[in-house]
Amino acid sequence: MNRGVGCVPTTGLMIFVFLFTAIAPVNAGREVRLILQITVDGLRGDLLSRYGDRFGMDGFRYLLEDGTVFTNAHYQHANTETIVGHTTLATGTSPSLHGMIGNVWLDRESGELGYNIEDPAHPLLPTRDYTKASTQLDPAQKASRTDGRSPSAILASTFSDELFVHTGGRAKIFAVSGKDRGAVPLAGHFGKAFWYSTDSGDFVSSRYYYDAYPEWAVNWNAKELAASHEGQSWNLLNDSSTYLFGAADDRPYEQDLQGYGRTFPHSFGPADSKLFTTYLFVSPVGDRLTNDFAKTVIAEERLGQDDVPDYLAVSFSSVDAINHFFGPSSLENEDVVLQLDRVLADLLAFVDKEVGLGRTLIVLSADHGMAEMPEFMAENGFPVGRIYSDDIVKLANDAAVDRFGIKDVVDRFYRPYLYLNAKLIKAAGLDRLEVEQGIADALMQREGIAVAVPVRSRGSMVNSTVLGQIQNNSHPLRSGDIYVAQAPYWFMFEKGSIVAMHGSPWRYDTFVPIIFAGPGIEVQTVSRLVHPADVAPTLASFLGTKIPSSATGTPLQEVLSRR
């Protein structure tokens, strides 16, 4: 039975439906004055359903109940790290094309590890003379030799780049994050990026973006909002009896961060202590500061106030930071997600007042998921443990001696890549691929290592899904020689303060939420498999811009259909 279509012929009906669907996003796009891209660093895809019964009405719940929610979104690359995920969201493609194969990789010319967005040509724009320097707990940042930052190493255009070009440079493009590598990719090559400094508590930028800070940024930093938390503590939002993990506050395998403690309340201490601003970052305060600065950008730059759509990316980083020290199944993780719900509600209320939610296209996702702590899994009967970088290097060097008679063949191991000394192999008259394969085979004999595969010779890989993820992650000039991945739920990283880690190809690390909300977007839940690389092409299709240069993702048709 034809319902509501009268006598329209079948062919005519098909054309009508096609045209209607095609023009719907364009019309909806004309209503948009602000694109708000929210990324929650480390928000594994199940955390929203795990804690959702205690969300308020105006934060996560608003998006979940008023948007298109994708419940089966997974990254297609193997090294699920911050820079990789943020850049994939920004460009709509894999690290094999956008170039951000990891937070850190080996510079073959210098022989030193390099930080992903480091750029000595564009040093940090200082905000003040520091009276102290904080202790750097971020392992990736420790590889940085300078404070310069820019998107120069990103090899593809971003959605925000294409929006800038499409509007003749009239669109205002901003990105704000708790981390530099959370802001820079989404700001693209044409926008402005700001990020939280654990040295000062300020939001900073580099000379790639400004010669001098705008007055409003100077004024925001002058308020010293971080310092206002001196002597305070991170306390639970609600009574501990209402929490899923309320009875699991004190676990011996959590990290106390040099006096921050494993149990609530977590004291921030005096403002002049070396870890004060880091403690704020590893608490809901980090997200609140990010939110306050983002709202200042909206107001002072008058985003969404004319007929040209502007773009603001806000990347909240505290969930990830807390996961690394307390794990994703901890009271700390539970509380920071509940507190972020309130932060998100405050941001959306501000956007509604300044721009109007009816004129704002919102997309929320995450850059990666997170593994459970191995001790948490082990105490429940899952056979796991810890492997450290030194273990991998020793195993590889021992294998090279035993099988090929060469010593010290490993240049460096920085997960997930093992870098070998090609000159040493050549001088020994050995075939490089044969050596790589021999070492890879030996590594896979070690308990806890699930995958070790030469990047240039992948024939030994059995699992085609993981093989594809490794291929998607590999760039010929930046990737190492052998890709190494731990078995599910095993920890594999450097010894140090980090006690829980992401970065594997397994589903708990690839699983993230994707939610679109805004004008013309249907309220629906979609369970089919989609990918974060689909986000940028979807934004481009909605706004009618070119799809980013190297995009491999597919526009999500559920978002592009009229309500």
Q: Is residue 322 part of a domain?
A: no
Residue 107 CA to residue 390 CA, distance in Å, equals 20
Of 493, 509, 543, which closes a domain? Answer: 493
3-state secondary structure of 396: helix
Which H or E element spans position 68? Answer: strand 68-74
**Both 487 and 433 in a single domain?**
yes
444, 476, 493: which is the final residue of a domain? 493
Cβ pair 133, 274 in contact under 8 A = yes
Contacts 24+ apart (CB under 8 A), 378-387: 382/489, 384/448, 384/487, 384/488, 384/489, 384/490, 384/491, 385/447, 385/448, 385/490, 385/491, 386/448, 386/490, 386/491, 386/492, 387/446, 387/448, 387/449, 387/486, 387/490, 387/491, 387/492
State whether 134 and 93 are in the same domain.
yes
Contacts with 160 (C-beta within 8 Å, 6 or more apart), sequence order: 90, 173, 175, 186, 187, 188, 190, 191, 311, 313
Pair 404, 550 in one domain: no
The total of other beta-carbon atoms located within 10 Å of residue 305's CB is 15
- Is the same domain home to 392 and 479? yes
For residues 554 and 459, membership in a common domain is answered with: no
**What is the pairing mode between strands 417-420 and 233-234?**
unpaired
Helix (H) or strand (E) holding 489: none
Residues 398 and 540 in one domain: no
Q: Tally helices (H) and strands (E) across the chain.
A: 20, 20
Which pLDDT does position 136 carry in this prediction?
66
C-beta neighbour count of 242 within 10 angstroms: 12
Q: What is the largest CA-CA distance in the chain?
A: 82
What are the phi and psi torsion angles at 149 (to 5°)? -140, 140
Rounded to two decimals, the pTM is 0.93
pLDDT tens per residue, the chain (563 residues)? 222 323 333 333 333 333 333 434 445 667 999 999 999 999 999 999 999 999 999 999 999 999 999 999 999 999 999 999 999 999 999 999 999 999 999 988 888 899 999 999 999 999 976 545 556 678 888 788 899 999 999 999 999 999 999 999 999 999 999 999 999 999 999 999 999 999 999 999 999 999 999 999 999 999 999 999 999 999 999 999 999 999 999 999 999 999 999 999 999 999 999 999 999 999 999 999 999 999 999 999 999 999 999 999 999 999 999 999 999 999 999 999 999 999 999 999 999 999 999 999 999 999 999 999 999 999 999 999 999 999 999 999 999 999 999 999 999 999 999 999 999 999 999 999 999 999 999 999 999 999 999 998 755 444 578 999 999 999 999 999 999 999 999 999 999 899 999 999 999 999 999 999 999 999 999 999 999 999 999 999 999 999 999 999 999 999 998 64
**Could you give the residue ranges of the DSSP H alpha helices within 129-283?**
159-166, 180-187, 215-222, 276-281
Structural domain including 84 reads: 78-170+183-232+268-304+352-369+526-560
Task: Report the run of H or E that residue 461 belongs to, with start and end.
Answer: none
Element (H, E) at 83: helix 82-91
Work out the number of other CB atoms within 10 angstroms of the CB of residue 544: 12
C-beta contacts of 139-142 below 8 A and 24+ residues apart: 139/104, 139/493, 139/494, 139/496, 139/498, 140/81, 140/82, 140/103, 140/104, 140/115, 140/116, 140/181, 141/115
CATH code (residue 439): 3.30.1360.150
Residue 10 falls within a domain, yes or no?
Answer: no
